[in-house]
Amino acid sequence: MTSATEVSAQRLRERGERVTPARLAVVEVLAGTEEHLSAEQIGERAEQLRPGIHRATVYRALDALGEFGLVTHVHLGRAGTTYHLAGDLAPRHLHLRCSECGTVYDAPGDILESARKKLSRELGFHLAPEQVALVGVCKNCQA
């Protein structure tokens, strides 16, 4: 099995982009967690993986990997922005944020598929719910 880091390095090379320690560290951090990490948290973990990498370099790596389609981000409202591996590098999922307690939950990526298809068919609109958190109230806060 090929790792996300190896696949990302290969895709960067195919695009003629540089394969830098910071870019690889970002991918490695994201591939190694299911947590919803902020840019700052990714920077901290990347520095631990590869001492000497400056946090600003990690932030630039996040931006570049986003432009190249290897990393995506999700706006979680007041919980901030989190980053994930994109496309086939990670399982597709959506984010649900409780407006009461702020907890973020993952939901299957296909859960809104019927709504996505209906919007496309009837309005010609391509829904991209992976980019935001769907807000509601979790079962714990409803009690």
Q: pLDDT tens for residues 51-68? A: 999 889 999 999 999 999
DSSP, collapsed to helix, strand or coil, labels residue 114 as: helix
Task: Please list the residues that pair with 98 across neighbouring strands.
Answer: 136
In the chain, the number of structural domains is 2
Q: Are residues 105 and 74 in the same domain?
A: no
- Structural domain span for residue 127: 93-141
Residue matched to tokens 């706006």: 75
Task: Provide the CATH number for the domain around residue 68.
Answer: 1.10.10.10
122 is in an annotated binding site: no
141 is in an annotated binding site: yes
Closest CA to 43 of 20, 30, 35, 34: 30
Q: Are residues 78 and 100 in the same domain?
A: no
Residue 84 in tokens: 């994930």
Q: Are residues 25 and 45 in the same domain?
A: yes
130 is in an annotated binding site: no
Q: Are residues 109 and 55 in the same domain?
A: no
Residue matched to tokens 């299957």: 108
Please state which of the ranges 9-18, 74-83, 117-126 shows the lowest mean pLDDT: 74-83
Q: Are residues 98 and 128 in the same domain?
A: yes
pTM: 0.81
Q: Are residues 135 and 109 in the same domain?
A: yes
138 is in an annotated binding site: yes
Task: Provide the CATH number for the domain around residue 114.
Answer: 3.30.1490.190
101 is in an annotated binding site: yes
Q: Are residues 17 and 65 in the same domain?
A: yes
pLDDT-derived band at 136 (thresholds 50, 70, 90) equals very high
